[in-house]
Amino acid sequence: MNEIIKIIQPGIRDDLESYWAMHFCSILETLYEHKQLQFNIQKSIPIQEPHTLANFNAHTEHMFLSRVRGQLHNWGLQYFLCHYLMTTEGMSVFDALMDEISNNYNFDLKRNFHSYGVFVCGIDSYSGSNFLNSTNAGIFGYDEKTIANVYEDIKYVDLCFLINRFKGDTLNTAVLGEVEGNNTVKLNRENYWRKKSSFCSFGIGIKNINNNMEIRNIRTETGIKTILTLGSNFDVVRDFRIAVGILETFFSLSPQHILQFVSGQKEIVDIIRYYWNKPVIDLIEILREKISRVDTASIGTNALTVTKVPKIIL
């Protein structure tokens, strides 16, 4: 296959509070849901204690967030994409991915299209594991394969685009892919895809020293993969890292530390400050409500996991 690189233009950004809510929400979701993080809210706080940011800070090491910064940049991309690809700005990126994958396999993924959602999936995430165990959509490209009957083959996949169709058409469709926040170069290697599920149709990652979004297709032994690359200087990538830095300051110094903010940031930071000693799942839900989705993204994203305190039987 001839390698043709296309530049993807994002849509219009029309709500700065929504934009910054998306960034901070994604970071907090990563800290709460991703099992592989060295410091994870659900693992770090004793189960009988409230899961708040204040308690998270109290039960971890000083400057802990700086130690997992690279992990947040890497795994956090999965959670960020779940919101970004459903906003006015990110929908054009989602559409570009759908068009490329459709062309590669001569099947219109938008046929009788009703709605969509974007989900973290895979057992490295609490909510991702729940998604796999509660969803039985058909896997794109395989007539009789569903998430339930190929679970063992897809349990480490990173991301799922879930497409709902109008009644009477085919099964709801799961389009599966990999995300490499710090290692995009891997996505262009044949040996990388040999180790991944053959059911994957796409890969998304970040490339250093670039400010574009690029899309290309590569041929592998397990089919054509559509690769979306976000440059490390692309504004949404840069702003995600700025948001990580603000939370680093709050955890290492104080959430009341005085900082200078750009438009839309302060309103979201004030919400985080207010909820510092309140349940983090309440904070995440409030931030989710602030994120403006397009109407067709009505399926949404992962439900947050709820930690249950074990009952003591006397």
pTM flag (> 0.85): yes
* Pair (45, 143) in one structural domain: no
Shared-domain flag, residues 285 and 185? no
> Which range marks the domain in which residue 207 is found?
96-231
Query: DSSP E strands: which ranges in 129-168?
Result: 138-139, 159-165
- Do both 129 and 211 map to the same domain? yes
Domain edge (last residue) among 208, 231, 254: 231
For residue 263, give both structure tokens. Answer: 């438009």
Say yes or no: 135 and 56 in one domain: no
Residue 3: exposed, middle, or buried by beta-carbon count in 10 A (0-12, 13-18, 19+)? exposed
| Residue 154 belongs to a domain | yes
Q: What pLDDT does 308 receive?
A: 64
SS3 letters across 107-138: CCCCCCEEEEEEEECCCCEHHHHHHHHHCCCE
Asked if 67 and 114 sit in the same domain, the reply is no
**Are residues 155 and 197 located together in one domain of the fold?**
yes
Identify whether 7 is part of a domain. Answer: no
| Residue 43: strand pairing partners | none
Do residues 225 and 247 both lie within one domain?
no
pLDDT of residue 314: 46
C-alpha to C-alpha distance for 10 and 162, rounded to whole angstroms: 21
The list of the chain residues with pLDDT below 70 reads 1-3, 168-171, 308-314
The C-alpha atoms of residue 285 and residue 13 are separated, in whole angstroms, by: 22
Q: Where does a domain end: 212, 231, 250? A: 231
Residue 305 lies in a domain: no
pLDDT at residue 170, as a whole number: 62
Which residue carries 């349990």 as its tokens? 155
Closest CA to 304 of 32, 17, 3, 18: 32
Virtual torsion, Cα 75, 81, 82, 88, nearest 10 deg: 160
- Residue 247 covered by a domain: yes
DSSP letter assigned to residue 306 = -
| 263, amino acid identity | S
For residue 211, the model assigns a pLDDT of 86
> How confident is the model at residue 309, as a pLDDT?
54
Distance CA 196, CA 175 (A): 14
Amino acid at 147: I
* Residues 217 and 245 reside in one and the same domain: no
**Does 226 lie in the same domain as 107?**
yes
Sole residue written with tokens 């992962």: 302
Residue 226 lies in a domain: yes
What's the pLDDT at 45? 95
Residues 65, 104 within the same domain: no
* Same structural domain, 106 and 226: yes
pLDDT at 168: 67
Is residue 142 domain-shared with residue 227, that is, in the same domain?
yes
Distance CA 6, CA 99 (A): 12
* Sequence-distant (≥ 6) Cβ neighbours of residue 45 within 8 angstroms: 51, 55, 56, 59
Residue 306 lies in a domain: no
How many structural domains is the chain composed of? Answer: 2
Residue 247: predicted pLDDT: 96
What is the Cα–Cα distance from 233 to 239, expressed in whole angstroms?
9
Q: Per the structure block, which two tokens stand in for 162?
A: 């879930």
Is residue 307 a part of any domain in this protein?
A: no
For residue 176, being part of any structural domain is answered with: yes
Residue 142: what pLDDT? 85
